[in-house]
């Protein structure tokens, strides 16, 4: 599994553009939360997608809180941590948080 970092609002715009070609996953991670670490590790262990199926992007909530807030506002989802969003055609088609984050749950999205 390859993670692409999200560090700016421009990165979010890039994800929106990329999602018109291939679906994109945004993982909003709290580096100080044990549940977030469990969710991230489990997602990595279960990952069975090629980059042409789903590109994975990672956001450190503590370092880039304003970017996280922008993501919540732009995609119309309530902020949670940890949280995953699947972006297709510029829109969030799936979101999950905490221990509901599972790779197999991403298939329908």
Virtual CA dihedral for 100, 101, 107, 109, nearest 10 degrees?
A: 80
Contact 24, 57 (CB under 8 A): yes
pTM over 0.85: yes
Q: What pLDDT score was predicted for residue 105?
A: 75
Tally of domains within the chain: 1
Q: State the residue range of the domain holding 57.
A: 3-106
45/107: higher pLDDT? 45
Where residue 86 sits, what CATH number does that domain have?
3.40.30.10
Q: What pLDDT score was predicted for residue 20?
A: 97
Q: How much is the average pLDDT of 47-58?
A: 90
Q: What pLDDT score was predicted for residue 108?
A: 61
Tens-digit pLDDT profile for residues 60-106: 999 999 999 999 999 999 888 899 999 999 999 999 888 788 887 77
Check residue 66 and give left, alpha or beta (phi > 0: left; psi -120 to 50: alpha).
Answer: alpha
């Amino acid at each position: 599994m390859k993670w692409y970092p999200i560090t700016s609002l421009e990165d979010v715009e890039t994800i929106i553009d990329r999602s018109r070609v291939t679906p994109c996953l945004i993982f909003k991670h709290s580096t100080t939360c044990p549940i977030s670490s469990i969710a991230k590790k489990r997602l990595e262990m279960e990952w069975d997608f090629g980059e042409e199926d789903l590109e994975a992007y990672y956001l450190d909530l503590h370092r880039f809180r304003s970017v996280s807030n922008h993501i919540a506002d732009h995609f119309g989802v309530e902020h949670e941590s940890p949280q995953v969003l699947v972006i297709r055609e510029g829109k969030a088609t799936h979101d999950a948080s905490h221990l509901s984050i599972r790779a197999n749950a991403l298939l329908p999205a």
